[in-house]
Amino acid sequence: MSTSLVCSSRTRLALSSTPASIRHYAAGKDSGAPDPKKEIIRRVLYPSNIRNRPTPIGTWRPDVGHAIQRAIPSVQAHDTVERAWLLHKRHLRKKRDAETARKFECMKKAMDALHEIDPKLYLEANKQDDPRARTAEEMQMRKTMKASELRAIEARIRGLFPRELRIPTDTPSRTGWKYEWKSFYRPI
């Protein structure tokens, strides 16, 4: 055995050199740009033997603490910001509710006054109209329209959200912006 009796840094044996990452699967020479799907599968089936990295299925995650510390450096500060934000939202909510209540009160006073003055007009004012009712102009147009157009018009109920309403997305659509779109005339 070539162990030296004197223990010093210079006489320390070199550690067996193990490479940083070991490949346990066969790979052809000059693979070039590999298929990303095959790479992912390969990485899952043969995970690299690097230590101090999170395990593949998340049983050990040493980086989480650091990440949380970066995002929320202080629990107390986080709680303070949370309280301030909720307080701000509460103020907005109260303002909105107060405004709505004020409008309702004004409306109620006006309707009460109308009821005193003229009960017939009051009943007229209280009448709820049918959102699917058709005007005379619309009845005329119906005679000259195609069946598909007719269906489209009948499906659009007043008060219902428009069909063109789009939820904003993170990425644009694949088909791009439709410059030729025109809204079609709908007699209300």
Partner 1 sequence: MFGLRRLPSSVPGFFSTIARGNATLTVSSQITPESSQPPPSKAKSSEPDHAAASKNPSTDGEVGVTGTTEDRKKRRKIPPKRPSISFDTPRSWNRPLREGVVPAYDLALSTLKRDSANLKLEAKQMRINIKEKEAGYQELKAKMDSLREVEGALEKRLELKEELQKLDQELEKMLEKLHIVEVQSEVNLPNVRWKVNNAMADMSKIEHRHLVEQKWRKDGALHLLMERLYQMNVVPDVLPELNPNIDLHVVARTTPREFLESKKVRKAVEPGAFLKPKQTLDAPKLHVNVFHADERLYTMLLVDPDVPNPESESFTTYLHWMKPNIALSASSPSRIPNLNTHTRYIPPHPQRGSPYHRYICLLLPQPPLGASEYTLTAASRATGPTSVHLDIPIVSETERFGFNIREFMRRWNLSGAKGGAGHMWREIWDEDVTAIYKDILKREEPRYGRPPKMDGYAHIKEQKKYIL
* Sites of contact with partner 1 (CB under 8 A): 1, 3, 5, 7, 12-13, 15-16, 18, 51-52, 60, 62, 65-66, 69, 73-77, 79-81, 83-85, 87-88, 91
Half-sphere exposure in the Cβ direction for 154 (13 Å, CA): 9
Supply the minimum distance, in Å, between the C-beta of residue 16 and partner 1: 5
Under a CB-based contact definition with an 8 Å cutoff, are residues 25 and 46 in contact?
yes
Supply the minimum distance, in Å, between the C-beta of residue 10 and partner 1: 12
Q: Is the Cβ of residue 70 or residue 146 nearer to partner 1 in the bound state?
A: 70
Report d(CA 188, CA 185) in Å as an integer.
9
**Phi and psi based region of residue 156 (left: phi greater than 0; alpha: psi -120 to 50; beta: remaining):** beta
Q: Look at residues 21, 22, 4, 23 and name the one whose alpha carbon lies nearest to residue 13.
A: 4
Q: Is the Cβ of residue 83 or residue 132 nearer to partner 1 in the bound state?
A: 83
Q: Is the Cβ of residue 65 or residue 176 nearer to partner 1 in the bound state?
A: 65
**Sign of the torsion formed by the C-alpha atoms of 82, 87, 90 and 91:** negative
Q: Is the Cβ of residue 77 or residue 157 nearer to partner 1 in the bound state?
A: 77
Supply the minimum distance, in Å, between the C-beta of residue 74 and partner 1: 4
Supply the minimum distance, in Å, between the C-beta of residue 98 and partner 1: 15
Q: Is the Cβ of residue 89 or residue 108 nearer to partner 1 in the bound state?
A: 89
Total number of residues shown for the chain: 188
Supply the minimum distance, in Å, between the C-beta of residue 118 and partner 1: 39
Under a CB-based contact definition with an 8 Å cutoff, are residues 131 and 157 in contact?
yes
